[in-house]
């Protein structure tokens, strides 16, 4: 590479992560409680929450959809970037995770801005109206990402954002034997070739796809 570029090391990464908005005590407690409930600790990183808030604010987003609520951590981060009448519609297929998320959302300062939809993405997404969202965040079962992308491209308006988590396949992107990682490699090729999006993988968290819906 002849262009000047600084490869980001762990030291750089810790440096930048310490210099953006941090999670508050409420979100820290939510994660501790989620661990006690046996919910897997696969929520987004705080610096990713901060970055996603920036994107949503720059896009003047009001309506967001999310596939994969888990504990509600990312939904709360995103909802806090929206205006008072904004809304995150978040989809969760695990009843236990949905119960946990709803309990914490109801205790949060954005309780009126997050609605949990119980069911699988492939069942719920088709019920959402075309052009009814300004942004989508895909963060669920990796084998179905392409289906979630197709539906999100219908639901998000032109000029809106498509975000997708885990572009780096849980740190195992190049592991040929890992099923989740191979699903992510296949999805990454689809994103790279998707003509209706201008997109790039941003190396926050486990790799975050940021796509702008051009048409």
Q: Which of 117, 120, 69 is nearest to 97 (CA)?
A: 69
Q: Is 69 in the site for Mg ion (CB under 5 A)?
A: no
Selection from Mg ion, ligand DHB, none that 170 binds (CB < 5 to 8 A by kind) is: ligand DHB
Nearer to ligand DHB, 119 or 180 (CB): 180
Nearer to ligand DHB, 42 or 147 (CB): 42
Using the rule CB under 6 A, which residue among 23, 139, 145, 209 binds ligand DHB? 139
Q: How many CB atoms lie within 10 A of CB 209?
A: 23
CA distance 50 to 20: 7
CA distance 68 to 211: 18
Q: How many CB atoms lie within 10 A of CB 80?
A: 20
Which stretch, 12-20, 72-80, 160-168, 177-185, contacts Mg ion (CB under 5 A)?
Answer: 160-168
Indicate the SS3 state at residue 142: helix
Please give the structure tokens belonging to residue 81.
């970037």
Using the rule CB under 5 A, which residue among 165, 168, 183, 191 binds Mg ion? 165
List the end-to-end C-alpha distance of the chain, in Å, as a whole number.
32
Q: Is 139 in the site for Mg ion (CB under 5 A)?
A: yes
Using the rule CB under 6 A, which residue among 165, 168, 211, 213 binds ligand DHB? 165
Sign of the dihedral defined by the CA atoms of residues 64, 67, 72, 73, in that order: negative
- Tell me how many residues contact ligand DHB (CB under 6 A): 7
Using the rule CB under 5 A, which residue among 48, 93, 166, 199 binds Mg ion? 166
Query: Which H/E stretch holds residue 189?
Result: helix 179-193
Q: How many CB atoms lie within 10 A of CB 144?
A: 17
Using the rule CB under 6 A, which residue among 42, 59, 147, 153 binds ligand DHB? 42
Q: Is 90 in the site for ligand DHB (CB under 6 A)?
A: no
Using the rule CB under 6 A, which residue among 170, 172, 201, 202 binds ligand DHB? 170
Residues at the contact surface with Mg ion, assessed by CB under 5 A: 139, 165-166
């Amino acid at each position: 590479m002849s262009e000047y570029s600084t490869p980001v090391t762990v030291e750089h990464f810790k440096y930048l992560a310490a210099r953006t908005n941090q999670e508050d005590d409420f979100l820290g407690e939510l994660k501790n409680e989620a661990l006690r409930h046996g919910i897997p600790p696969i929520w987004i990183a705080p610096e990713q929450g901060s970055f996603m808030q920036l994107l949503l604010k720059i896009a003047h987003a009001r309506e967001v959809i999310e596939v994969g609520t888990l504990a509600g951590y990312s939904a709360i981060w995103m909802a806090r970037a929206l205006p008072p009448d904004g809304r995150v519609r978040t989809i969760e297929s695990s009843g236990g995770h949905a119960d946990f998320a709803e309990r914490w959302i109801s205790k949060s300062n954005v309780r009126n801005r997050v609605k949990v939809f119980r069911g699988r993405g492939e069942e719920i997404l088709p019920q959402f109206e075309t052009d009814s969202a300004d942004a989508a965040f895909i963060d669920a079962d990796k084998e179905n990402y392409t289906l979630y992308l197709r539906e999100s491209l219908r639901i998000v308006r032109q000029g809106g954002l498509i975000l997708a988590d885990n572009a780096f396949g849980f740190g195992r992107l190049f592991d040929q034997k890992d099923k989740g990682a191979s699903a992510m490699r296949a999805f990454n090729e689809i994103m790279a070739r998707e003509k209706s999006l201008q997109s790039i993988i941003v190396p926050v968290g486990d790799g975050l796809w940021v796509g702008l819906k051009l048409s």
